[in-house]
Amino acid sequence: GQQVMQIPQYQHVQEGEDFTTYCNSSTTLSNIQWYKQRPGGHPVFLIQLVKSGEVKKQKRLTFQFGEAKKNSSLHITATQTTDVGTYFCAGGKGNFGNEKLTFGTGTRLTIIP
Amino acid sequence: ETGVTQTPRHLVMGMTNKKSLKCEQHLGHNAMYWYKQSAKKPLELMFVYNFKEQTENNSVPSRFSPECPNSSHLFLHLHTLQPEDSALYLCASSLGSSGGETQYFGPGTRLLVL
């Protein structure tokens, strides 16, 4: 079955440092979504990428979808304490009307003030 | 708030108890999901309902029994659970069940099985 892996599993950074998490799928995806889960909270949708090579930005967050549509990355510039949480990618795959969204294993980010 | 509510927020139950988790979405969505989140496996999809019909059962043990009376409500009936079933149970909804749809999660029910 489809697998979506993320690395690293954990990341500890000093406040102000950059952070990147990588998402890799075993199969070609129709789209990739990113979610953030704060400690004690629930996953919240951040963004969706659909096109090969697509790059989107949200303030300090940059999301990229690979050319082959099998991998993606989330980069945070100059991390802040509010960035703490677990970041999940979720890959969509399948034929129209029969697609499935598979969540990645997540990367837990902690910030050292 | 995401428009998806879950009750109860916390639940402690013995292995012989029967309890139910409730999820309600106020977003007009047609698909609803149950996920299990534990330390070992971050997000495990359990069940998918689309227009009240179950479209996916991800090899979930029969001690978990879902019910979807309409597109706005989803239940998870629990009976004779095991301690390893202790986890955060998340409900989500989306407009459709296509893999391109954004999912909106509820706050979850944190379950402890003694």
Instruction: Nearest by CB to A94, from B99, B103, B108: name it.
Output: B99
Residue ranges in chain A whose pLDDT is less than 70: 1-2, 94-99
pLDDT tens, B55-82?
A: 888 889 999 999 999 999 999 999 999 9
Q: Chain A residue closest to B46 (CA)?
A: A102
- The Cα–Cα gap between B94 and B100 comes to 10
- The Cα–Cα gap between A80 and A89 comes to 20
Chain A to chain B Cβ contacts (< 8 Å) = 55
Report the pLDDT value the prediction gives residue A95, as an integer from 0 to 100. 57
Residue B80 exposed, middle or buried by CB count within 10 Å (0-12, 13-18, 19+): middle
Q: Is B33:B103 a contact under the CB 8 Å cutoff? A: yes
**Phi, psi angle pair for B83, to nearest 5°:** -55, -30
CB–CB of B102 and A33 under 8 A?
yes
pLDDT tens, A27-44?
A: 999 999 999 999 999 999
Report the pLDDT value the prediction gives residue A92, as an integer from 0 to 100. 87
Chain B environment of A93 (Cβ under 8 Å): 99
Chain B environment of A41 (Cβ under 8 Å): 107
CB–CB of A44 and B105 under 8 A?
yes
Instruction: Nearest by CB to A30, from B45, B99, B103: name it.
Output: B99
Residue B53 has pLDDT above 90, yes or no: no
| Band of pLDDT at residue B22, cut at 50, 70 and 90 | very high
Higher-confidence residue: B100 or B15? B15
Q: What average pLDDT does range B45-52 have in this prediction?
A: 90
Report the pLDDT value the prediction gives residue B11, as an integer from 0 to 100. 97
| Band of pLDDT at residue B2, cut at 50, 70 and 90 | low
Walk across the sheet containing B73-79 and list its strands: B4-7, B18-25, B73-79, B64-70
Measured in angstroms, the CA of B111 and the nearest CA of chain A are apart by: 13
Report the pLDDT value the prediction gives residue A48, as an integer from 0 to 100. 94
Peptide bond into A8 cis (omega under 30): yes
- The Cα–Cα gap between B25 and B92 comes to 8
The closest of A38, A28, A60 to A106, measured between CA atoms, is A38
| Band of pLDDT at residue B98, cut at 50, 70 and 90 | confident
